[in-house]
Copies of this chain bind each other. A is one copy, B any other.
Amino acid sequence: MATATLTIDLDALIANWRALDAVTTCETAAVVKADGYGLGADRVARCLMHNGVRKFFVAAAEEGVSLRQALGPDPEISVFSGHMAGDTDMISDMGLTPMLNSVDQIVRHVEALPANPFGVQLDTGMNRLGLEASEWAAVRDLVLPRNPTLVMSHLACADEPEHPMNPRQLAAFREMTDGIAAPRSLAATGGILLGSDYHFDLTRPGVGLYGGMPFVEATPVATLGIPVIQVRDVAEGESVGYGNSWIAGRPSRVATIAAGYADGILRAMGTDVSVFSGDQRCKVIGRISMDMIGVDITDLGEDPSRLELLGRHQSVDTLADAAGTIGYEILTSLGHRYTRRYKVG
């Protein structure tokens, strides 16, 4: 058992969804792209569905196919990348709802699958996905009579509530959509927290469900316990790990634990993270290897069989700070060698 165990607390996930749902008076969907932000899209989405979620979002049609198989025919599964060349059969056979991003995609969709539901994504300034204002003006009278399931856009700076881009995108979205009959959506997790002006008819929380910032009150969902392969005494002056980057400053007790950057523990975290034995903090030492990490357990007073990297004492966002990135990347990097255990009740 030289593989770590990732425990996913489905009650915490549901609590986070409910907390974000309670912020608004509109419908709340769930974004489960990138394998449910690394936690397992099938299990995460099934659990959300059983707790009342009816609309899900994924990045690519391939993800939608897998999700449809997990969820059955009822929930709406929308695809952010829209209707790309090669997607037609997947969209049709699996009942997916593409968010059409361009005139090209609109033409492709309406020609190939005139009766298949679709939404429209508008660009309100992020310049990443969606129709420009001028394109929307050109096609809206052709598109709206076909009853899109949703007209949506995405905020570029929602994690920074004071950023002037937020009201600018809101104004652009209203200008492009005020008065239409179709349901509208602008907010993901960050947008939900910007206030009711941003909520419209549907919100699309992602990272907040999984315990990551910017949803400060999120309940942690993931706990990662890593087994100890071996412990040893290391004399003062001896080195540990690749490149001899850590030298023992005192006689030390060192554990080698069985996970590394091949499991998504970003090498950039270096020695800025700790692992925990119960409530006791132990420093990571030396370079993070592909499959192993060294830990100074000198002050622990015992040899642990397992140490916790992620959980009550150290959040996704603490790991992200250590690696110079954001919690989203910590989550989506979670390794495929981990045993995933889903905890309820």
Q: Which A residues are within 8 Å of any B CB, using their own CB? A: 1-3, 33-35, 38, 59-63, 79-82, 84-87, 101-102, 104-105, 123, 125-130, 132, 156-157, 159-160, 163, 165, 227, 229-230, 232-234, 238-244, 254, 256, 258, 261-262, 264, 266-268, 286, 289-292, 294, 305, 323-326, 328-329, 332-333, 336-337
Contacts and interface: CB of A to CB of B under 8 A. Distances in A.
A8 to B, nearest CB: 17
Q: What's the number of copies of this chain in the assembled complex? A: 2
A262 B59 CA distance: 11
Contacts of A233: 132
Contacts of A61: 1-2
A163 B261 CA distance: 24
A243 B156 contact: yes
B337 A165 contact: no
A46 B159 CA distance: 47
Contacts of A256: 128-129
Nearest to A85: B1
A242 B254 CA distance: 41
A259 to B, nearest CB: 10
A155 to B, nearest CB: 9
A261 B332 contact: yes
Contacts of A105: 230
Identify which of A87, A243, A262 gathers the most chain B CB atoms within 10 Å of its CB. A262
Contact of A82 (B3, B86, B229, B294): B229
Contacts of A286: 128
Given A2-B84, A59-B291, A126-B242, 5 more contacts: A84-B229, A125-B238, A127-B234, A156-B243, A267-B325
Nearest to A127: B240
A292 B1 contact: no
Contacts of A80: 291
21 contacts: A1-B85, A1-B86, A1-B87, A2-B59, A60-B337, A62-B337, A81-B258, A84-B229, A101-B230, A125-B239, A127-B234, A127-B238, A129-B230, A129-B256, A129-B292, A262-B329, A262-B332, A267-B329, A268-B268, A290-B328, A333-B333
Contacts of A333: 261, 264, 333
Nearest to A324: B268
Nearest to A231: B102
B292 A128 contact: yes
A2 to B, nearest CB: 4
A235 to B, nearest CB: 10
